[in-house]
Each structure stands twice: as C-alpha cells, then as structure tokens.
Amino acid sequence: MKKVKAKDLKVGMFCDLEGYLYAVGQHPHPHQVIIGKHFVRVEHVEKESADCIAVDFNNFGQVGFPPEHRIRVKTGFIN
C-alpha cells in the first residue's frame, strides 16, 4: 500500500478510507467509518476549488479532500 495525494488520484485506484475524518460525514454513524478494511474504487476525480478535490467512490459516494491530503491506495490494482 502507498499514499497518494488527493490531487493525484486516478480513476480505477482502490483507496482505503478507514479512519479518515473527511469520509466520516458520508456515513450514518458520524463517529466511525464503517467500511473497515474494504477498499473503494475511484470513479471520478474533480478539482472543485483550489482547496477541494472531489472524489466519487463506488458504493460510497463523494468525499472532498484538500489537494495535498494523502490517501492510502492499494498498489497493483489500477484499471
């Protein structure tokens, strides 16, 4: 596994969002991320503003990250 800046994410990458505060708001339980050790696939990446990279994940929804924020990415599984 490696860490990739949000601004460098590409469609097809698999990300581990477990424990990410930016992802917590996407779940009905605001104090924990429920996806555990599952990975979510990047479906779309868009620069919404100078301070926000919007990333759409399959079966998870959209999460906004600061451009320099590093996200854990599973290596070897990029489509």
Q: What is the pLDDT of residue 4?
A: 95
* Residue pLDDT, tens place only, 1-23: 899 999 999 999 999 877 666 65
34 pLDDT higher than 70: no
Mean pLDDT of 17-34: 53
CA distance 40 to 58: 6
* Residue pLDDT, tens place only, 37-76: 568 899 999 999 999 999 998 877 888 888 998 998 987 6
CATH architecture under which domain 2-74 falls: Roll (2.30)
